[in-house]
Each structure stands twice: as structure tokens, then as C-alpha cells.
């Protein structure tokens, strides 16, 4: 744990490091055949955190802990980068080392403990946070499907002969399954359907 006069400098350096998440693209763009520059680790983590809050309420677990797990779940990728499933075949990531070096020396040890708990995936909160991660990926795939990206539907429903996972099948909680079903039957543009007007106020 950080001590002494450098405590605030350590915190500020962490804030600067986390800020670079805005510039880090999620690398599935290579295999999904889409060049979406808005899909960054930061934008992904933001929506995952909001999804996590709702899931935590539905599953009756600690929403604070779930939201923190969601915000931290990809923070190690600041140092390692994001890797798609092809990359993971050839690259080993030392997640434990990254998280310890990144968070372990910050004040308020709770942040490190929450990140470790998420990666252990044993607590109900960590499972809820992972489900939020999957739901955000499902939302993104549905948005791409709506735009006509031909790979997206196969990623949603799976393509076993080519080893493409069934993203919908990764939903294991009652609340995440219900949300997943709604995601796949709701138009991504439906949220503004009754808001448009031709007149200014």
C-alpha cells in the first residue's frame, strides 16, 4: 500500500494511466470485420458498469462492488492491450502481475482486492460483473448486426464448426438471460423512436 507524501502522485498517475483507455481500441474489430473507432476499452467499461448496476439490483448483490468490478475488469489491458481469440492462441498475459503492479501499491487496498475477486470469479458479484461484460458484447453485436455486419449474427448465435463462441449461450443468470432476450428482440434505435420532432421548443 502506498504511504507518505507520494500517495497522491500514485493516485494521479493511476488516473492518467486509466485515461489512456479512451485511446485503446478493442481488437475484435480485426476478426469481426468492422472498423468502429468508438469501441474502446473505456467506452466498453462504461456501459458494462451501468449494466452491472442493474444486474446487481436484479440479482440482489452488492451494486457498489459489481460496478467497481465492471470498471476495473479490463483495466489491465492498458498495459497488455486487448487480444482477440486468435491472438490469445499465441500470447500469454500475466494478469496477476499486471493487476498487482497496477493496483497493489495504491492506497485503499480495497480497489486491488475487488479486482482480484473479479478475476477469481468465485463470488456472486464477480459472476454478475462478468455477465454484464457479456451483455455489453451482445449489445455491441446487435448494433453491428443492425448495421449489416455479416459476422455479427454468427458471433451472437455461434458458429461451432469454426470455433466461434455462442455469446448468447454465455448468459447464465436469470436476469442476464432476460436482458439478453430483450437485446436480441429490440431495435438498437428504438430508444429514440418517440422522441423525434420537427419543431423546436
Tens-place pLDDT, residues 130-151: 999 999 999 999 999 999 999 8
Phi and psi at residue 51, in whole multiples of 5°? Answer: -60, -45
pLDDT tier at 3, thresholds 50, 70, 90: low
Nearest Cα neighbor of 28 from 91, 90, 86, 94 is: 86
Per-residue pLDDT band for 40 (boundaries 50, 70, 90) equals very high
Distance CA 175, CA 60 (A): 11
**What is the average pLDDT score of the chain?**
92
Mean pLDDT of 57-68: 98
Cα→Cα distances 169→130, 173, 181, Å: 13, 11, 11
Q: Is the pLDDT of residue 174 over 70?
A: yes
Q: How confident is the model at residue 64 (pLDDT cuts 50, 70, 90)?
A: very high
Q: What is the CATH number of domain 4-189?
A: 1.10.3210.10
Query: For residue 2, is pLDDT > 50?
Result: no
pLDDT in tens, 81-117: 898 878 888 999 899 999 999 999 999 999 999 999 9
- From CA 48, how far away is CA 70, in angstroms rounded? 6
The answer to whether residues 110 and 64 touch, using CB atoms and an 8 Å cutoff, is no
Q: According to the model, what pLDDT value does residue 164 have?
A: 66
Domain boundaries along the sequence of the chain: 4-189
- Residues 5-37 have pLDDT tens digits of 689 999 999 999 999 999 999 988 888 888 898
Amino acid at each position: 500500500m502506498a504511504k507518505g507524501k507520494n500517495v497522491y502522485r500514485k493516485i494521479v498517475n493511476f488516473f492518467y494511466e486509466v485515461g489512456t483507455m479512451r485511446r485503446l481500441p478493442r481488437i475484435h474489430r480485426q476478426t469481426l470485420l468492422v472498423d468502429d473507432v468508438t469501441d474502446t476499452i473505456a467506452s466498453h467499461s462504461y456501459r458494462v458498469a451501468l449494466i452491472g448496476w442493474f444486474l446487481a439490483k436484479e440479482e440482489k448483490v452488492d451494486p457498489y462492488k459489481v460496478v467497481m468490478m465492471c470498471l476495473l475488469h479490463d483495466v489491465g489491458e492498458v498495459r497488455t492491450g486487448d487480444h482477440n481469440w486468435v491472438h490469445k492462441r499465441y500470447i500469454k498475459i500475466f494478469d496477476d502481475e499486471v493487476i498487482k503492479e497496477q493496483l497493489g501499491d495504491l492506497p485503499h487496498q480495497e480497489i486491488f482486492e475487488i479486482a482480484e475477486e473479479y478475476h477469481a470469479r468465485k463470488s456472486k458479484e464477480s459472476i454478475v460483473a462478468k455477465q454484464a461484460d457479456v451483455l455489453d458484447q451482445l449489445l455491441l453485436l446487435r448494433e453491428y448486426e443492425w448495421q449489416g455486419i455479416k459476422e455479427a449474427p454468427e458471433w451472437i448465435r455461434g458458429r461451432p464448426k469454426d470455433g466461434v463462441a455462442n455469446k448468447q449461450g454465455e448468459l447464465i443468470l436469470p436476469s442476464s438471460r432476460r436482458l439478453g432476450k430483450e437485446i436480441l428482440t429490440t431495435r438498437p434505435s428504438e430508444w429514440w423512436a418517440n422522441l423525434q420532432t420537427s419543431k423546436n421548443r
